[in-house]
Amino acid sequence: MRVLVTGASGLLGAGVARRLVSEGADVVTLQRRPSEVPGARDVTGSVTDREAVERAMTGRNTVVHVAAKVSVSGPAGDYERVNIAGTERVLESARRAGVERFVHVSSPSVAHAGTSIIGDGAGPADPQRARGHYARTKAAGELLALAADAQDFRVLVLRPHLMWGPGDAQLTERIIERARAGRMPLLGPSAALIDSLYTENAVDAVVAAVDAVDRVHGESLVVTNGEPRPVGELIRGLAVAGGASEPRLRIPAGPARVAGGLIERLWDAGGLGRGGDEPPMTRFLAEQLSTAHWFDQRRTRTALRWVPAISIDDGLRRLAAYYSDRSGRR
């Protein structure tokens, strides 16, 4: 198998590339900085760069498209260039190169309109109802990927949900850092049930999708640990595993949503996030912290012939060991 993995400088993309190399695949990676995946051939560049995409795609028969603009703030155009135009460029290049399998990594936020999700499957991606630039553009990119599905170009979409674990800077590090600073809020009673996904399980699921896409394609699958927990319990578990105190700051959910929307607009309008920092609260984040979102995993597990190997409790123990080891090496 000759695989291109985009976005392999990130935790998920790098993990998938490493696993595929270990299984004997010929792996090329494409990302803006070197992936440093042993055994893979790096192509440095962006999915927005036609020449870099064409160079990375040469000789490939399988693509795992992970690259994305991931954040909760910033100009809409930044998201559109990567998550929509970049996805379209990768799809077009893959079709021209004769690629047969395309695994597209999306997000459950593409079908989340701000209300609770209780035991649902993967609803349709909806750019009109999705919340925020990231979710809207990922929804549009997912629709492009699914529209390209054909018998000779098989597309399978995975939506990993709230991935966390050692080395994760998107969710895990932010919760721990904010908890250490006393700025990690719990909204309302923090009892809403949410699904999440341990990082190694996410890698396993994507690699399973590469094998599954020959028999299952043209659909989207949400991927989680399948262990819904109260949002406050999960946040406290991550904070403590990282060596922080349990978050004590509580904010009513309704005012947090209103304040989050206002902060988000002021943040973008004032250019406050230009240094890479993110707003302390957004409307989307407030909704995620105060509404239930957990998913029926039966179709995912049947389609991928996969089950998560690491439970949430085991993952938290591994996370605590990771931070303890890091602290000991300082």
**Residue partners of 138: CB distance under 8 A and separation at least 6:** 68, 83, 106, 107, 109, 110, 125, 130
Residue 134 annotated to the active site: yes
Backbone angles phi, psi at 103, to 5 degrees: -105, 120
Taking alpha carbons only, the member of 103, 104, 139 closest to residue 123 is 139
Please check whether residue 56 is in contact with residue 43, taking contact to mean a CB–CB distance below 8 angstroms: yes
> pLDDT higher for 103 or 71?
103
Residue 330 domain-assigned (yes or no): no
Q: How many domains does the chain have?
A: 1
Cα distance between residue 103 and residue 150, in whole Å: 13
pTM to 2 decimal places: 0.90
pLDDT value at residue 247:
83
Identify the active-site residue in 79, 134, 198, 323: 134
Q: Which of 114, 32, 96 is nearest to 66 (CA)?
A: 32
Q: Which domain holds residue 72?
A: 2-241+284-322
What pLDDT does residue 11 have?
Answer: 94
Task: Find the mean pLDDT for residues 80-102.
Answer: 97
| Range scoring the smallest mean pLDDT among 81-90, 96-105, 122-131, 261-270 | 261-270
Query: Please, which residues have CB within 8 angstroms of residue 150's CB and are 6 or more apart in sequence?
Result: none
- Tell me the average pLDDT across 269-276: 53
Q: How far apart are CA 157 and CA 140, in angstroms?
A: 13
pLDDT, tens digit (0-9, with 9 covering 90-100), for 187-200 = 766 778 999 999 99
Please indicate, yes or no, if residue 268 is contained in any of the structural domains: no
* Integer Cα distance of 220 and 208 in angstroms: 14
CATH code for position 177: 3.40.50.720
Indicate whether 118 pLDDT > 80: yes
Residue 55 lies in a domain: yes
- Single-letter residue type at 224: T
pLDDT for res 201: 98
Give domain status of residue 275, yes or no. no
Report, as an integer, the average pLDDT of 243-254. 77
235: left (phi over 0), alpha (psi -120 to 50) or beta: alpha
Q: Is 147 within the bounds of a domain?
A: yes
Residue 32 counted as domain residue: yes
Say whether 30 sits in a helix, a strand or coil.
Answer: strand
Q: Domain for residue 255, yes or no?
A: no
Provide the 3-class DSSP secondary structure of residue 39: coil
CB neighbours of 187 closer than 8 A, spacing ≥ 6? 250, 251, 252, 253, 256, 286, 289, 290
Give the integer Cα–Cα distance in Å for 71 and 63: 24
Q: What is residue 185's predicted lDDT score, i.e. its pLDDT?
A: 78
Radius of gyration of the chain (CA): 19
Check pLDDT > 90 for residue 101.
Answer: yes
Q: pLDDT for 279-313, tens place per residue?
A: 655 656 666 666 788 899 999 999 999 999 999 99
Residue 101 lies in a domain: yes
